[in-house]
């Protein structure tokens, strides 16, 4: 079977709850986020995943992602990878979209990028690095990371430009699976939060 990428977004934080752009600021998980990470882990340890024994596990080095991985019971298998860091939001770090619209009406991150942070091209290159690596392996890749970089990986897995990521939102502690259909890259599961309703 061709390799897949399983995407796990980190648990809820104070900033994700309030809608603040959280790039490189190391915001800790809320109790709700820790609970969600444990529920995600329980799901990954049950059928059909059964702990994904053959999968490689990678995590963003930021605490909210690595702690989610740890609480999900996969921390001992995980390797930190800088390619999975969240978008560097530069001057817009810690701001909500509404606050940014006040100073830059009509702003759209997937088109306009951010001042003093990563460019669209840099984010695309990091997402392409992850996709390329996953496709070069003969086993699944399970990654724990952040909303915008995971959405970017989803877009690039499909061979689409980065702005497609605007159309595929992700909730905290969600699980998504990128795989194949008819020999072409496909989304098998997206933004699944069923484990949180337990």
Report the run of H or E that residue 178 belongs to, with start and end. strand 175-181
Angle, CA of 191, 197 and 198, to the nearest 5°: 130
Q: For residue range 62-85, what is the model confidence (pLDDT) as tens digits?
A: 999 999 999 999 999 999 999 999
Which residue out of 10, 21, 146, 148 is catalytically annotated? 10
Q: What's residue 1's pLDDT?
A: 54
Which residue out of 67, 70, 86, 118 is catalytically annotated? 86
User: What is the pLDDT averaged over residues 99-109?
Assistant: 96
> Binding site for substrate, residues?
22-23, 64
Average pLDDT over the chain reads 96
10 is catalytic: yes
Residues in CB range of 184: below 8 A, 6 or more apart:
none
> Binding site, residues?
22-23, 64
**Percentage of the chain surpassing pLDDT 90?**
98
Residue 2 has pLDDT above 90, yes or no: no
Structural domains in the chain plus CATH codes: 5-197 (3.40.50.1240)
The model's pTM:
0.96
Angle, CA of 143, 168 and 136, to the nearest 5°: 40
146 is catalytic: no
Alpha-carbon span 136 to 44, nearest angstrom: 24
Q: For residue range 17-68, what is the model confidence (pLDDT) as tens digits?
A: 999 999 999 999 999 999 999 999 999 999 999 999 999 999 999 999 999 9
From the CB of residue 56, how many other CB atoms can be counted at a distance below 10 Å? Answer: 17
């Amino acid at each position: 079977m061709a390799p897949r990428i399983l995407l796990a977004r980190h648990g809820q934080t104070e900033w994700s709850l309030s809608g603040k752009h959280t790039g490189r600021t190391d915001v800790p998980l809320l109790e709700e986020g820790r609970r969600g990470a444990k529920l995600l882990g329980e799901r990954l340890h049950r059928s059909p995943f059964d702990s994904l024994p053959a999968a490689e596990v990678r995590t963003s080095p930021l605490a909210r992602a690595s702690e989610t991985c740890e609480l999900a019971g996969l921390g001992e298998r995980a390797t930190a990878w800088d390619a999975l860091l969240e978008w560097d939001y530069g001057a817009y770090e810690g701001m909500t979209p509404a606050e940014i619209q006040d100073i830059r009406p009509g702003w759209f991150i997937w088109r306009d990028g951010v001042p003093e942070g990563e460019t669209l091209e840099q984010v695309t290159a990091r997402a392409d690095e992850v996709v390329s690596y996953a496709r070069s392996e003969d086993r699944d890749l399970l990654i724990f990371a952040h909303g915008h970089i995971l959405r970017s990986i989803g877009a690039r897995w499909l061979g689409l430009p980065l702005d497609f990521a605007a159309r595929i939102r992700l909730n905290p502690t969600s699980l998504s699976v990128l795989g194949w259909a008819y020999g072409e890259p496909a989304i098998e599961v997206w933004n699944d939060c069923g484990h949180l309703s337990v």
